[in-house]
A = this chain, B = another copy of it.
Amino acid sequence: MPTESRVARRPLEQELISRGVRMTRQRRLLVEIIQSADQHMDVLNLWQKARQQDPTLNKVTVYRTLGLLKKHRLVDELDLMHLESARHYYEARTTRDHIHLACIKCGRIQEFESSLFEKLKGQIERERRFRISVVRVEAGGYCDKCQE
C-alpha cells in the first residue's frame, strides 16, 4: 500500500486547466515562475519576480494563487527549519518526495532522496493505517562545507 501517487511533472498550467481552473494572466505568470525556479521561493521572492514582468500584480494575488496551488496539492509548503523568521517557502511538487537539509551556518538547502524514506512512509501507512497525503522532512545541521 504505497503512498498516494504523485502528480506527474506536467506543466502546472496544463494541470490547472485540466482541473477546470480559470487561467488568468497573473496565474500564468506566477505558475511559470514557480515552475522554473531553481530555488525555494517565498511569497516575497515570488512577488518581486512577478512584478518584473507585471508591475501591477498584487501581493494578495500571490497569496491567493499559492493557496489555490496548495489546495490542489500542486506545490509543497516548507519552513526550512525556520532558518529565517517564520517565512514559508514553496516548490512545485515533483514526482518523488525528498528531504530538505538546511545548513544552520551557511543557509544552503540541499535536497535528498532515499529509498529508506519511501520505506518509512510505507511503514507509517501500514502500522498506523495512516493514509499519507503530504509528507515533509526537514533537517537542520551543518553541511559538509561548514564542518571545516
A residues sitting closer than 8 Å to B (CB atoms) are: 4, 77, 79, 81-82, 86, 88, 99, 101, 103-104, 110, 112, 114, 116-117, 119-121, 123-124, 127-144, 147
Contact = CB atoms under 8 A, between A and B. Distances in A.
A135 B133 contact: no
- Count copies of this chain in the complex: 2
B143 A130 contact: yes
Most buried by B among A127, A136, A141: A141
B147 A124 contact: no
Most buried by B among A86, A101, A124, A129: A124
Contacts of A88: 86
Contacts of A141: 4, 130-134
A143 B130 CA distance: 5
The 10 lowest CB-CB distance pairs between A and B, nearest first, are A129-B144, A132-B141, A131-B142, A135-B139, A133-B141, A134-B140, A116-B120, A131-B141, A137-B137, A132-B139
A134 B124 CA distance: 21
B139 A134 contact: yes
A131 B99 CA distance: 14
A101 B86 contact: no
B116 A128 contact: no
